[in-house]
Structure 1
Amino acid sequence: MLLTKQLLAFRPNKMDWIFAIKTFLAGILALYVAFSLNLAYPIWAIGTVFVIANPYSGMTSSKSIYRVLGTLLGAIVSIVVTPLLINTPWLFTLFLASWVAVCLYISLLDRTPRSYVSMLAGYTAVIICYNIIYFIDTVSIFDMAIGRFMEITIGVLCSAIVTTTLFPMHIGPAVKTRVSKTFKDTKSLFHQILLDSSQLKNYNNMLAQITRDIAEIHVMAVHLSYEKSALQGMTKPLQEMLHQMTMLIANLVAMAERVKQLDLLDTAYREQLQAIHVHIADFLQDEHVIDETQLNGLPEGFDEDFARLQAMSPASQQVILGSLKMDVRHFIQNIRAIRLIWQRIQQGDASLPESVTPLTTTYPNLHRDHGVAVRGGISAFLVILLATSFWIVSGWKAGFMMAEMAAISACILTAMDNPVPALKMFIRANLYAAVIVFIYAYGIFPHVTAFWQLVVVLAPFIIYCLMLFPHPPLTGIGLPLLMGTVMGLNLQNRYSLDQVFFFDASIGTVLGPLISVYIIHLVRAMSPDITAQRILSLHYKAIRQALYLPYGVQFRIHLRSMLDRIGVLNTKVVQSEHLKKNIQLALIESSAVIDLTRLQELMNKLPAQHPILITLEDLQQLLDDYFRAKEISQASDVLKNAILEKIQALQTEAATIEQQDTVQRLNISLNNIQSSLCHVNLTATAQSAGKGA
Structure 2
Amino acid sequence: MSWTRGLSKWGFDEPRMAFAGRTALAACTAVVIAWLLGLEHPQWSGMTVWAGSQPWRGQLAEKSVFRLLGTLVGGVFGMLLLLLTDGNLVWLTFGLAVWIGLCTWAGNRIRGFISYGAMLSGYTAVMVTLLKSHHFTSIFAIGIDRIFTVSLGVLVALLVGWRFAPVANAVNIPKRLKALVRDTEQLLRAEQVAGQGTVELEAQKQHILRQLALMEESLETQVAGSWNLRQRVRRWRGQMVALVQALLNSDLSMMSSQNLPREVAAYYDTREAMRASLRSFLMMALAGAAWLLSGIEMGAFMLVGTAIMVSVFSTVTQPLPILKQVVIGQALGVLAAWVCRWLVWPYMGSETAQIVSLMPFILMGGLFFGHRIGAGPRGFDFNMVLLLLVQPGWPLLGDWTHAWQAGIAVVLGPVMAMVAFWLIFPANSATQIANVRTKVRRTLLTQAAQPMDAERKAQWYAQLSLGVLKLARYHTAGTATTQTENALAWGHGVKAMGVLQQHLTLLKQEASATAEQRNSVTAVGALLLSGKASATELVAALQQLQASWQGSTALDNAKVEQALAVLAAPTAR
Please indicate the TM-score interval, normalised by the length of the shorter structure.
0.7 to 0.9
> How does 1:55-134 map onto structure 2 within 5 Å?
55-131=55-131, 134=132
Judged with a 3 Å threshold, the aligned counterparts in structure 2 of structure 1 residues 381 and 66 are, in CA distance, closer, same or farther, namely same
Q: Note if contact 2:302-2:411 (Cα within 8 Å) is conserved in structure 1.
A: yes
Alpha-carbon separation, structure 2, partners of 1:578 and 1:453: 51
Which position in structure 1 is the counterpart of 2:561?
674
Residue pairs, 1:542-561, within 5 angstroms = 542-545=443-446, 546-561=448-463
Measured after TM superposition, the shift of residue 213 of structure 1 is 3.4
CA distance in 2, matches of 1:508, 1:598: 56
Partner of 1:245 in structure 2?
A: 240
Measured in 2, the distance between the counterparts of 1:9 and 1:376 equals 42
1:48 matched residue in structure 2: 48
Residue 174 (structure 1) shift: 4.3
Structure-2 residue corresponding to 1:351 = none
2:380 is aligned to 479
Task: Select between 195-204 and 406-415 the one with higher mean Cα deviation.
Answer: 195-204
Give the Å deviation of 1:19: 1.6
How has the CA–CA distance of structure 1 residues 328 and 226 changed in structure 2, closer, same or farther, with 3 Å as cutoff? closer
Q: Which amino acid aligns with 1:640?
A: V
Secondary structure at the residue paired with 2:137?
coil
Cα deviation for residue 119 of structure 1 reads 1.4
Q: Answer yes or no: is the 8 Å Cα contact 2:283–2:417 preserved in 1.
A: yes
Give the match for residue 19 of structure 1: 19
Match runs of 1:385-396 below 5 Å: 385-396=285-296
Q: Deviations over 1:6-55 (max 9, x none)?
A: xx998334322322223223323322332232211122211112123332
Distance 2:253 2:295 in 1: 73
1:541 aligned residue (438, 442, 445): 442
In the alignment, what sits opposite 2:279? 379
1:352 corresponding residue in structure 2: none
Asked if the contact 1:100–1:381 (Cα under 8 Å) also holds between the matched residues in 2, the reply is yes
Alignment counterpart, residue 566 of structure 1, candidates 454, 462, 468: 468
Aligned equivalents of 2:315, 2:564: Cα separation in 1: 31
Q: Which residue of 2 aligns with 1:38?
A: 38
Partner of 1:467 in structure 2? Answer: 370
Match of 1:276 in 2: none
Q: 1:200 aligns with which of 189, 198, 201?
A: 198
**In the alignment, does 2:493 pair up with 1:589?**
yes
Structure 2 unaligned residues grouped into runs of 5+: 1-7
| Deviation of the 1:66 alpha carbon | 1.9
Question: Residues 308-323 of structure 1: matches in 2 within 5 Å?
Answer: none
Residues 96-115 of structure 1: per-residue CA shift (max 9 Å, x gap):
11111122122233344422
Q: Report deviation, 1:425.
A: 3.3
The count of aligned residue pairs is 555
- Distance (Å, rounded) in 2 between the aligned partners of 1:615 and 1:543: 27
Name the counterpart of 2:304: 404
Amino acid at match of 1:233: N
Would the alpha carbon gap of residues 496 and 164 (structure 1) be closer, same or farther in structure 2, given more than 3 Å must change?
A: same
TM-score norm. by structure 2 comes to 0.83
**Pairwise mapping of residues 236-315 of structure 1 onto structure 2 (< 5 A)?**
236-255=231-250
Partner residue in 2 for 1:414: 314
Aligned residue type for 1:214? L
Name the counterpart of 2:405: 504
Q: Which amino acid aligns with 2:280?
A: A
Name which one, 1 or 2, has greater alpha-carbon Rg: 1
**C-alpha displacement at 1:530, in angstroms?**
2.6
Distance 1:495 1:116, change over 3 A: farther
Separation (CA, whole Å) in 1 of partners of 2:559 and 2:174: 36
CA distance in 1, matches of 2:324, 2:223: 36
SS at match of 2:187: helix
Query: Secondary structure at the residue paired with 1:54?
Result: coil
Listed one character per residue, the Cα deviations across residues 250-290 of structure 1 (whole Å, up to 9, x for unaligned) are 233223xxxxxxxxxxxxxxxxxxxxxxxxxxxxxxxxxxx
1:432 to 332, 340, 354: 332
Unaligned segments of structure 1, at least 5 residues:
1-7, 256-326, 338-354, 658-665, 683-693
Residue identity opposite 1:172 in structure 2: A
Could you tell me how far apart the structure 2 residues matched to 1:181 and 1:11 are?
A: 33
Q: Is the CA contact (8 Å cut-off) linking 1:21 and 1:463 kept in structure 2?
A: yes
Contact 2:185-2:252 within 8 A present in 1 as well: no
Alignment partner of 2:379: what SS?
helix
What is the Cα deviation at residue 74 of structure 1? 0.7
1: CA distance, partners of 2:484 / 2:270: 20
Q: Deviations over 1:632-665 (max 9, x none)?
A: 2x313243244256458768533xx8xxxxxxxx
One-letter identity of the residue aligned with 1:141: I
Contact 1:547-1:620 at 8 Å conserved across structures = no
- The answer to whether the 8 Å contact 1:419/1:525 transfers is no
Q: Is the 8 A contact 2:52 2:63 kept in 1?
A: yes
Contact 1:62-1:223 within 8 A present in 2 as well? no
Kindly indicate whether the alpha-carbon contact (under 8 Å) linking 1:70 and 1:117 is maintained by their aligned counterparts in 2.
yes
In structure 2, the CA distance between the partners of 1:616 and 1:390, relative to structure 1 (3 Å rule), is: same
Match of 1:143?
141
- Deviation of 1:559 after TM superposition, in Å, equals 2.5
2:32–2:355 contact (8 Å) kept in structure 1: no
Q: Deviations over 1:600-657 (max 9, x none)?
A: 79669x9x64x4798986675354234235x22x313243244256458768533xx8
* Alignment of 1:527 onto 2:428: yes
Give the structure 1 partner of residue 158 of structure 2: 160
Q: Could you say which residue in structure 1 is the equivalent of 2:552?
A: 653
Letter in 1 for 2:234: Q
Which residue does 1:688 correspond to in 2? none
CA distance in 2 between counterparts of 1:238 and 1:423 reads 31
- Normalising by structure 1, what TM-score? 0.70
CA deviations over 1:284-309 (Å, ceiling 9, x no partner) = xxxxxxxxxxxxxxxxxxxxxxxxxx
Deviation (angstroms), 1:128: 0.5
User: How far off its partner does 1:125 sit?
Assistant: 0.8
Deviation readout 1:336-367 (Å, 9 max, x if unpaired):
x8xxxxxxxxxxxxxxxxx9855445xx5x24
Change (3 A) 1:206 1:141: farther
CA contact (8 A) 1:532 1:579 kept: no
CA distance in 2, matches of 1:416, 1:554: 31
1:98–1:585 Cα change, 3 Å: same
Aligned counterpart for 1:441 among listed residues 335, 341, 354: 341
Report the Cα distance in structure 2 between the residues aligned to 1:455 and 1:396, rounded to whole angstroms. Answer: 28
CA contact (8 A) 2:21 2:367 kept: no
1:291 alignment partner in structure 2 = none
Deviation at 1:82, TM superposition (A): 1.0
Do structure 1's residue 621 and structure 2's residue 508 form an aligned pair?
no
Letter in 2 for 1:115: S
Say if 1:58 and 1:226, in contact at 8 Å, map to a contact too.
yes
Residue of structure 2 in register with 1:268 after alignment: none
Q: Are 2:34 and 2:152, in contact at CA under 8 Å, matched by a contact in 1? A: yes
**Contact kept? 1:45, 1:151, Cα under 8 Å:** yes
**Cα distance 1:538–1:518, how it changes in 2: closer, same or farther (>3 A)?**
closer
> 2 CA distance for matches of 1:679 and 1:13?
48
Distance 1:522 1:19, change over 3 A: same
The one-letter amino acid of 2:51's match is V
RMSD: 3.8
C-alpha spacing 1:55/1:554, structure 2 compared with 1 (3 Å): same
What is the CA–CA distance in structure 1 between the aligned matches of 2:429 and 2:80, rounded to whole Å?
A: 41
Secondary structure of 1:172 counterpart: coil
8 A Cα contact 2:128 2:142, kept in partner: yes
Contact 1:644–1:674 (CA under 8 A) maintained in structure 2:
no
Tell whether the 8 Å contact from 2:444 to 2:460 is kept in structure 1 after alignment: no
Deviates more, 1:139-148 or 1:442-451: 442-451
Give the letter for the 2:364 counterpart. Answer: F
CA drift of 1:596 comes to 4.5
